[in-house]
Amino acid sequence: MSYAALDAARVARACKVALSVLEANPESSEAHVRKTLMIERMAALAAAAAESAEATGGGGVVTLTSEEFWLVSKNW
């Protein structure tokens, strides 16, 4: 499995876009619900990492697996 350290603020913004695309789709299958939940969790973690970085002056980084990255980027 591949991993990548990415800028947390950018990941949070990408998750917001992916969520808006998923919410615009009226589908209600189990797969759709799972995708939405996974992206919501990633968005929350990325937003927390970005906020933490702002407060501490550090570089907000979040690590995603290749599958998580694909899931977010496929829905833009």
Task: State how far Cα 11 lies from the chain centre.
Answer: 5
Q: Please indicate, yes or no, if residue 35 is contained in any of the structural domains.
A: yes
Domain range for 13: 8-57
Q: Please indicate, yes or no, if residue 18 is contained in any of the structural domains.
A: yes
**Cβ–Cβ under 8 Å, residues 68 and 4:** no
Predicted confidence (pLDDT) at residue 20 exceeds the cutoff of 80: yes
pTM of the model: 0.84
Cα atoms in the 13 Å half-sphere on the side-chain side of 18: 24
Counting the structural domains of the chain, the total is: 1
Structure tokens at 47: 């937003």
Provide the 8-state DSSP code for 57: T
pLDDT average, residue stretch 36-52: 93
* Percent of the chain clearing pLDDT 90 (strictly above): 58
Q: Which of 27, 12, 25, 17 is nearest to 76 (CA)?
A: 17
Predicted confidence (pLDDT) at residue 70 exceeds the cutoff of 70: yes
